[in-house]
Amino acid sequence: MVEKAVAFATKSHEGTFRKGTKIPYIVHPLETAVIVALMVTDEELICAALLHDVVEDTGVTEEELKEKFGLRVAELVMEETEDKTKCWKERKCATLDHLEQASRESKILVLADKLSNLRSTARDYFLVGDDLWQRFNEKNKSEHAWYYKGVAKRLTGLEEFPAYQEYIKLCERVFE
């Protein structure tokens, strides 16, 4: 199932790149899945990590995910999917609200996704400095700090994972 999810995500994200870079977008879901796989052996959760952006960023539907990968994978992906009709702040508030009651599996997926994003942000921030924020929809660094720190506060129960510790350290380095 993981190989099928890799192929599906690769095809779905074909021709797209990370914001402001020439890095193929698929690198992010692959990294997210590796982070999840270092925390758990749950194949469906690893698949959800690979597929976490396909509904949000491509033409893939929830129904298509259910058909190809099953109800649980589709539900995990949909929990992580932002409503792009809303503004940045509303989307981030919705994520933070969701994390208040989220399952451990959902929190693991969010941690992996946000850690991958934060690694990329940190790498680029140390190269280009505050110009980095201009590539995002939200250009205010303090808003990003509010969001990433808010995520950290809501990832209770994951403190034992090295990924969580790395996330906290990167937040401190980028936003302090």
Which residues have a Cβ under 8 Å from the Cβ of 75 and sit 6 or more positions away?
A: none
Single-letter code of the amino acid located at 95: T
**What is the total residue count of the chain?**
176
pLDDT tens, position by position, 75-97: 999 999 999 899 999 999 999 99
Active site residue 90: no
Residue 130: C-alpha distances to residues 117, 122, 175 (Å): 16, 11, 11
**Whole-structure pTM value:** 0.95
Q: How far apart are CA 24 and CA 19, in angstroms?
A: 10
Average model confidence (pLDDT) across the chain: 96
In the residue annotation, 56 being an active-site residue is answered as yes
Q: What is the pLDDT of residues 33-65, one digit of tens each?
A: 999 999 999 999 999 999 999 999 998 999 999
Proportion of the chain above pLDDT 70, given as a percent: 100
Q: What per-residue confidence (pLDDT) applies to 28?
A: 97
Which one of the listed residues 3, 43, 57, 113 is annotated catalytic? Answer: 57
Catalytic residue among 42, 56, 64, 138: 56
CATH of the domain at 22: 1.10.3210.10
* Domains: count for the chain: 1
Among residues 20, 35, 50, the alpha carbon closest in space to that of 121 is found at 20
Question: Does the pLDDT at position 21 exceed 90?
Answer: no
What is the Cα–Cα distance from 129 to 17, expressed in whole angstroms?
Answer: 21
Mean pLDDT of 94-118: 97
Domain, as residue range, for 131: 2-175
